[in-house]
Amino acid sequence: MKYLLLTIFATNIIFYSFLLLKPNGDSFYFLIAQDNSLSDVFEILEEKEIFFPKIIKSIFVVTGTDQKIYQGNYQINKDDSVYEIFKKIYFGKIVLKKFIVSEGSQTRNLFSNELLATYCEQEKLMPCNLEGLVMPDTYFFDREEEIIEILKIATKSQEKKIDLAWQQRNKDLFKYSKYDLLIIASMLEKESCVNERNKISGVIQNRLKKNMLLQIDSTTIYGLKNFNGDLKKHHLRDSSLYNTYMHKGLPPGPISNPSFNSLMAAGQPSSHDFFYFVAKGECSHVFSTNYEDHLRAVQKYQLRK
């Protein structure tokens, strides 16, 4: 009995020592693909001189984990023990990448034309215009083919936000449709910070009611080709339908992916008599009720810079 206990104790010591062993080698990544079996995984690791005891391998089978190994990229660090490597695979601790859709970003700059065309074909969306329809957020993925799934999640989420903002809109809005609300929200995202969005939304509302040109720089810029960041007077004569210095009413579509705050501000504009605004600093504008006061504000805050 004494020797049996010693044998069991020694076996346990050897077993746990093996699990705590840190294989010599460099850090590396390896991919568990869709068609990889558990044997394939062990083979990949053994090529890197990482060996699991048979009893550890059997845990995957007994628990059924061998049938649902999480696909993706795994990072093995040079300081990882065999036990730590086992946990990463067993619990599916894959390496995730970030895909950031920032507020005011443009869908055409986030996704390739090929991916957008594939998505629109899958969703039967014609015409294929997803500008404004991707919800700003941080998304996580591990494989490049998952980007289209991110697009699907982001558009479905944005659709819900648009619906909520539409339901909570001011019912007295001037001839707004749900798509108009999205267009205005996309403009507010580019033109203002949170503190002034409802107020600038009110300016847009007032101008639409008077059938005035909106004269929004960001819409005009959106329609320009090869814009270098410096808006000139000749740009304001561009023939694009997004040029709100030349064409009355809203532009034909959104110009950015708006936040929920902008969507709400588009549906709940402040009530006031302002028709003009000019930036006087970051997140701050001077608002005017008439053109003469507006010109003075432009002279003071823009032309003297």
Note whether 180 and 250 are within 8 A (CB). Answer: yes
pLDDT tens per residue, range 64-84: 877 878 888 888 888 888 888
**Which has the higher per-residue pLDDT, 188 or 32?**
188
CA distances from 39 to 45, 52, 59, 72, 98 (A): 10, 12, 13, 16, 30
User: Domain segments of the chain: what residues?
Assistant: 2-90, 97-159, 170-303
Residue 265 token pair: 């501000």
Class of the domain covering 2-90: alpha beta
Task: Quote the strand ranges of the chain, DSSP E.
Answer: 28-32, 72-76, 97-101, 137-141, 276-281, 284-288
Checking if the pLDDT of 9 tops 50, the result is no
Residue predicted with more confidence, 305 or 277? 277
- Helix axis angle for 38-47 and 54-62, nearest 10°, is 150
Residue that wins the pLDDT comparison between 172 and 186: 186
**Collapsed DSSP state (helix, strand, coil) of residue 168:** coil
Task: Please name the helix (run of DSSP H) or strand (run of DSSP E) that holds residue 206, with its range, or none.
Answer: helix 197-209
Q: Given a cut of 70, is residue 18 above it in pLDDT?
A: no
Using pLDDT thresholds of 50, 70 and 90, give the confidence band for residue 52.
confident
